[in-house]
Amino acid sequence: MFFKSFIAYFIFLGTVFSSVSASEIKKAYFAGGCFWGVEYHFEKLNGVESVVSGYMGGTMKNPGYYDVVYKNTGHLEVVEVSYDPSKVSYESLAKLFFEIHDPTQKNGQGPDIGSQYVSAVFTSDMTEQKTIRNLIQILQKKGLDVATTLRASTTFYKAEEYHQDYYSKTKKQPYCHSYKKLFD
């Protein structure tokens, strides 16, 4: 009986500790053109637990890819970055975001043109907003005409499964995202 109670106690403790660590995971939302390339780069960053491609910012509930592309729903292709703030800061995520796409390009990214491909950051609180504004000011002081918009987070809709981990599945490289150091 003691042994069963002992095991039950450790299972309980394991549940408590795993739920505590799961609650420490935060989410950030970035739109930098085609979500495949943005996802590809964020997945390589230490402290990022997962990256999910999806849609945010529009008017239709549960949009699919063809809705976003052809029905003018107002959604952007976005990645949801789940990260451990004890390993990577929101500022580090935001810096990487600006360094993996062209934040000066209007109405698209690389060859992908359209309102669903614009550069935007969806923020969840004032701290995130302040971080993004500060980074944009740094880029502007360097002479960049930043087109990235700042928006409040709305409902995130996961994209179809064939969009998830696209470059890992296809063994291809991003065609419109590459890393370019912008911050010291």
Q: Is the pLDDT of residue 150 over 80?
A: yes
Q: What domains are there in the chain, each with its CATH number?
A: 24-170 (3.30.1060.10)
- Annotation says 176 is catalytic: no
Q: Which of 34, 93, 132, 176 is catalytic?
A: 34
The helix/strand/coil state of 124 is coil
SS (H, E, C) 164-179: CCHHHHHCCCCCCCCC
Average pLDDT over residues 119-128: 97
pLDDT digits (tens, 9 = 90+) for 31-44: 999 999 999 999 99
pLDDT of 120 higher than 50: yes
pTM exceeding the 0.75 threshold for the entire prediction: yes
User: Is the sign of the CA dihedral 115, 51, 93, 151 positive or negative?
Assistant: positive
**Is pLDDT larger for residue 18 or for residue 122?**
122
SS3 102: coil
Q: Please say if the pLDDT value at position 1 is more than 80.
A: no
